[in-house]
Every structure is written in C-alpha cells, then in structure tokens.
Amino acid sequence: MSGCVVWIPLFSSPGSFISIPTQSQAASFPFNFSYGDYDMPLDEDEDVTNSRTFFAAKIVIGMALVGIMLVCGIGNFIFIAALARYKKLRNLTNLLIANLAISDFLVAIVCCPFEMDYYVVRQLSWEHGHVLCASVNYLRTVSLYVSTNALLAIAIDRYLAIVHPLRPRMKYQTATGLIALVWVVSILVAIPSAYFTTETVLVIVKSQEKIFCGQIWPVDQQIYYKSYFLFIFGIEFVGPVVTMTLCYARISRELWFKAVPGFQTEQIRKRLRCRRKTVLVLMCILTAYVLCWAPFYGFAIVRDFFPTVFVKEKHYLTAFYVVECIAMSNSMINTVCFVTVKNNTIKYFKKIMLLHWKASYNGSKSSGDLDLKTTGVPATEEVDCIGLK
C-alpha cells in the first residue's frame, strides 16, 4: 500500500480502525474503497446511509443516545447534587461511584448531542470542525477508562472491606489520591485518541461528501496502532475484568459459603444481608459491563487483525456503530444500579427540593435551621449497604 493510506477508528474509542485512501488518492480512484491489502469496489450510485439496514441501525442508535442523555444526564446529576449536599452520603464507596457519575454525566450532556447529530441527523457526516472532533472523541475515551478504573477500584475496596475486615479502611486522603490516580491514568492513556483524531472524506456519493471523524493512523504506523490497541485491551478490559471477577469470587465465598463464628444477632444478620445485596448488584454491574463491551472489543479485534472477514460485507460499518452504541449504553445500567437501585439518592434529592421550597415559603426560619434538620438525616439502610463501613 502507498504511504497515503491511513488507519482510522471512526468516531470511536481505540480498538477500531479501517484503511482508507486519502483525498488525493481518492481523486485518482474515486470509487475504490481500500481495506488493507484488499480492494472493495464501491458503487458510485450506492449510499449505505440510504439502505434499510442503516435506517434500522439509525433508529437503534438514536434510541440509545436519547436514553443515555436522559438516564445518565438526569440520574447522575441527581446523584452528584445529593452527594454534594449531604455529608451522610459521602462514604468511600460513594466517592468512587462519583467518578462514574461525573464521567457519564459529561458524556451525556457534551458528547451525546454531537453523536446524535453525527449518527442520526447528518448520517455519518461530521460538520463541527477538527477541534470538536478531537475533543468529543477524547472525552468519550477518557470517560470509558474512568468508568473501568472506578469499577475496578470499587471491587478492590469491597474485597478489602469484606475479606479483610480487620485491616484499617482506606483513609479519605488515600481515597482522594486514588480518585486522582483514576483520572490521571485515564487522561494519559487516552492521549493518542486525541493526537491522532482528525476529519477525513471517506465516501463520495453523487458528489456528496461524507466527512468522518475519527483517529487517523498512517499506514506505516500500523504496528504502533495494533500495539496500542492490545495495550488498551489488556489494561482497560481484560485486566480489570479478571481482577474484578477474582475479587467478587472471593467475596462471594466469604459471604455465602463461610460460616459466621459466634452468636448472630439481628444486627449482624441484617449487615450480612446488606453486604450480600450490595455484592449481587456489583456483580450484575460487572456482568453488564462484560456483555456490553466484549462485543465491541471482539468486533474491533476481528476487523483490525483479520480484515478479510468483513472485506465484502458492505454493512459491517453500520453493524459496528450499533455494537458501539450498545457498549456505550452500559453507562445507563451503571446509573440505574448505583443511583436508583442501591443508593437512596432520589430520596435525598427530594429533600433538597423540599429544603428550597421551605426556605422560600417560610422566610422566618434561617437556612441554617433547615440545614440542621435535613443534613442530620441518618444514612438509610441502602446507603449503609453501599458504604459498608
């Protein structure tokens, strides 16, 4: 292949790239789509975005993006607001969960509107310039890594709290350092996704350009891209999944298959039920994470390392976008489980609204008096379960 061929993951996280001719090469071969060392002819009159397959995919993608914007946007905002307002919610585990909430919230309000425009409105054409292309792609990538690393930190925290209860819990200073580490590692590891992200004209159908936004890796850097992808695949998927699985397996043995010594009071039994319930939710979150992201990484591995599998399938790009959207939908599951199922965040958010209503209705009472009444609310069973101090 000539030096003008690039490797591109189209508006996605690392782990997906295709080989295309640049615009200068497309001028000489206007209807030839190149994939590695193979050629796939493109019909001049054929526009994949006008096919029924893409129309169906567009509906799925649109529904997923709307769901992410509503669920993650509103749900995580409620969680962040409640966490900022009530000290009773600020236990160690909730501070770790806050990382997921912040990253998912940013994606919901910043990235998803641009993706809706890219995927659904303009049908795979980017019209917002290089800076936003790189910024949105980078923010999405950082969010994915923050979520993965935060889930890993939560699993390790649960393991230490349940399997080694006599060891001192992590101090808040240490927790702050861990949270900073989660973000710093995610930001640094995702730098290539911003550095190599740009725009390129991929398809020209009846003089209509489709501007794709994604990472462009020169063909002479294929080996670097593949090494980078395998590195990401190892430290941001395989490694965390294996570690979390081992942690929860050991925790399950401790909670379900090990006899509790001594006389069990009602308080001890209640605490055990709380811990089991919490661990079950966390294991469900891990299972959902694997089910959502494994198809994405698997699809990317087949396409990037075995391109002949997809070379003659004209709808493979549409299929990839659907798989990618399913992976992104994992953030909705995290939000529902952490914010509504295992945390009494909605109840605390209602108290915030009630506080402001009382403050405006009864001006004779100072806000300090109202704060004293509401901030003193004891942590509920659900909050205690998720904290497990």
Which tokens sit at 215?
Answer: 């990472």
Contact 120, 145 (CB under 8 A): no
**Measured between alpha carbons, how far is 309 from 290 in angstroms, rounded to an integer?**
23
Q: How far, CA to CA in Å, does 238 sit from each of 148, 224, 233, 234, 243?
A: 11, 20, 6, 5, 8
- pLDDT confidence bin for 138, thresholds 50/70/90: very high
- pLDDT above 60 (res 310): yes
Q: 5-355+364-387: which CATH topology?
A: Rhopdopsin 7-helix transmembrane proteins (1.20.1070)
Closest CA to 60 of 317, 321, 313: 321
Q: Do 3 and 219 touch, CB atoms closer than 8 A? A: yes
- Higher pLDDT, residue 378 or 268: 268
What DSSP letter does each residue of 308-357 carry, written as one string? GGTTT-TTHHHHHHHHHHHHHTHHHHHHIIIIIIS--HHHHHHHHHHHHH
Q: Distance between CA 261 and CA 167 in Å, rounded?
A: 18
Task: Look at 369 and 27; give whichever has higher pLDDT.
Answer: 369
Nearest-angstrom CA–CA distance, 182 and 371: 33
Write out the H or E segment, with its range, that includes residue 144. helix 129-163
Query: What is the rounded CA–CA span in Å between residue 327 and residue 98?
Result: 20
By three-state DSSP, how is residue 10 classified? strand
d(CA 7, CA 1): 12
Q: What is the pLDDT of residue 30?
A: 32
Q: Which pLDDT band, with edges at 50, 70 and 90, does 297 fall under? A: very high
Higher per-residue confidence, 160 vs 351: 160
**pLDDT on residue 342:** 57
Record the tokens describing residue 339, joined without a space.
């914010």
| Beta bridge pairs of residue 179 | none
pLDDT single digits (tens) 212-261: 888 888 888 888 999 999 999 999 999 999 999 999 999 998 888 776 66
Tell me the domain boundaries of the chain: 5-355+364-387
For residue 41, report the phi and psi dihedrals to the nearest 5 degrees: -70, 140
> What distance in Å separates the CA atoms of residue 42 and residue 345, rounded to the nearest whole number?
52
Average pLDDT of the chain is: 76
What is the pLDDT confidence band of residue 381, given thresholds at 50, 70 and 90? very low
Residue reference for tokens 């993965």: 148
Of 21-30, 117-126, 163-172, 208-217, which has the strongest mean pLDDT? 117-126
User: Between these two residues, 298 and 269, which has the higher pLDDT value?
Assistant: 298
